[in-house]
Amino acid sequence: MDRFQNVVRLSFFGHVHSEEHNVIKSFENNKSVGLNYWSGAMTTYSNAYPSFRRFILDTQTMLPVQIETYRFDVNAENPEFLLDHELTSYYGMPDLSPASFDALAARFLADEDLALKYLKTKSQQGPKGYTTCDETCRLSVYCDVSTSTYQDSRKCQGFEALDFRNDPMNSLFMALEEPWYNYNRHPIV
């Protein structure tokens, strides 16, 4: 993404059954250069309602100008897909640029209510939602959305890069990757 940021305009993903986003950082200077958008699933899942996202793009730049999430409350008397939220108005963002998502991540770190809004949209307002988000929780939200790599998120939260006792599978993959990618070469802000 760093090298081809002028060509690749969007990154869409699914399969995680939750609505998420995270910022893609440049390896050279840690500048935000793009975004990953993770959408919920059309199927039910533990503590999450079915949902889908609608991306409205600027036809000239092919960049998103609005992102709407529709969810399906399976417990409603007459269930149907309804607009749950539009990203910029929901979070009070000026636009959908990487810089705006950086600012939003910083706001998650400082504002429990805003961090809870994010956690609730992860599950599409699912039935067993979050009720509190303390400082550790907010740091986790901040670290998850402010970087696109698992290793950088762990580092941001103060965890060791290689932790075979508590995170054996990811530590094994990181140990195998290390000759090709140096995790300590770029700092997390």
Q: Got the DSSP string for 22-65?
A: EEEE-TTT--EEEEEEE---SS-BTTB--EEEEEEE-TTT--EE
Tell me what pLDDT residue 149 has.
Answer: 80
Q: How sure is the predictor about 187, in pLDDT bands with cuts at 50, 70 and 90?
A: very low
Question: Mean pLDDT over residues 147-176, rounded?
Answer: 81
Whether the per-residue pLDDT at 186 is higher than 70: the answer is: no
Q: What is the Cα–Cα distance from 120 to 20, expressed in whole angstroms?
A: 11
Quick check: 4 pLDDT over 50? yes
The larger pLDDT score, comparing residue 183 to residue 17, is at 17
Residue 188's pLDDT is what?
Answer: 44
Q: Average per-residue pLDDT in the chain?
A: 85
- Is 20 part of a structural domain of the chain? yes
Beta carbons of 83 and 33 less than 8 angstroms apart: no
Give this prediction's pTM: 0.83
Do the domain assignments include residue 85? Answer: yes
CB 30 within 8 A of CB 186: yes
- Looking at the structure of the chain, the number of domains it has is 1
CA angle 68–98–19, rounded 5-degree value: 40
Alpha carbon distance 46, 174 (integer Å): 29
> Of 22-26, 131-135, 150-154, where does mean pLDDT reach its minimum?
150-154
Residues 6+ apart with CB under 8 A from 110: 138
Residue type, 11: S
- Please list, residue by residue across 165-187, b when 16 or more beta carbons sit within 10 angstroms of its beta carbon and e when fewer do: eebeebbeebeeeeeeeeeeebe
Residue 161: count of CB within 10 angstroms of its CB: 16
Report for 35-39, 86-90, 129-133: range of highest mean pLDDT: 86-90
Domain presence at residue 28: yes
Residue 113: inside a domain, yes or no?
yes
Q: Over the stretch 38-67, which tens digit does the pLDDT of each residue have?
A: 988 888 777 788 889 999 999 998 889 999
What average pLDDT does this structure show over 69-94? 92
Residue 81 domain-assigned (yes or no): yes
Q: Tokens at residue 57, please?
A: 């793009």
In a domain, 103, yes or no: yes
- 141 belongs to a structural domain: yes
Q: How many CB atoms lie within 10 A of CB 122?
A: 22
160 domain residue, yes or no: no
Q: Which range of residues forms the domain containing residue 117?
A: 11-148
